[in-house]
Amino acid sequence: MAVDINGLPQAILVTRANVSDRSGALAMLSLASQNLELVQHVMVDGGYTGNDFADQVKLILNAKTTVAKRNELHTFTVLPQRWIIERSWSWLDKCRRLWKNCERQLTTSLQMVVLAFLALLLKRF
């Protein structure tokens, strides 16, 4: 899932369990590249380190990639950059339907995530 600075989803891709996070993220960015053409900066966590991922993001979106790394002291500290996506995931955790994936098709799972965010937005207004 790619979110904006407010934690609202801009691109979502549901994949099977045998797809790595890195390849799934690149596939999501490729599929949503027209919607994300104004993106200039992509912030990712430590699982996406490496020049090859940053180069692929540069090719797909023409955006700079920054890795938000955890604290080297191994103590819990809130990192504002990581908190944005973590807040979005916690919003999805409030939907019981998404706790376990019982759907037979990936498109159904994707639509349940979209409906969860729509319900969240409707509650805000």
Residue 13 has what pLDDT? 93
**Average pLDDT, 10 consecutive residues per value, the chain (125 residues):** 91 92 95 94 88 94 88 68 84 77 80 88 80
Report the relative pairing of strands 41-45 and 2-3 from DSSP bridges. Answer: unpaired
d(CA 63, CA 18): 27
Q: What is the pTM of this model?
A: 0.80
84-103 tens-digit pLDDT: 888 888 888 888 777 677 77
Which of 64, 52, 63 shows the shortest CA–CA distance to 22? 52
| CATH for 44 | 3.30.420
Which of 39, 81, 99 shows the shortest CA–CA distance to 64? 39
Burial classification of residue 91, based on how many CB atoms lie within 10 Å of its CB (0-12 exposed, 13-18 middle, 19 or more buried) = middle
Residue 111 has what pLDDT? 87
> Range of 93's domain?
2-124
Going 55 to 60 to 66 to 67, the CA torsion angle's sign is negative
Quote the number of domains for the chain. Answer: 1
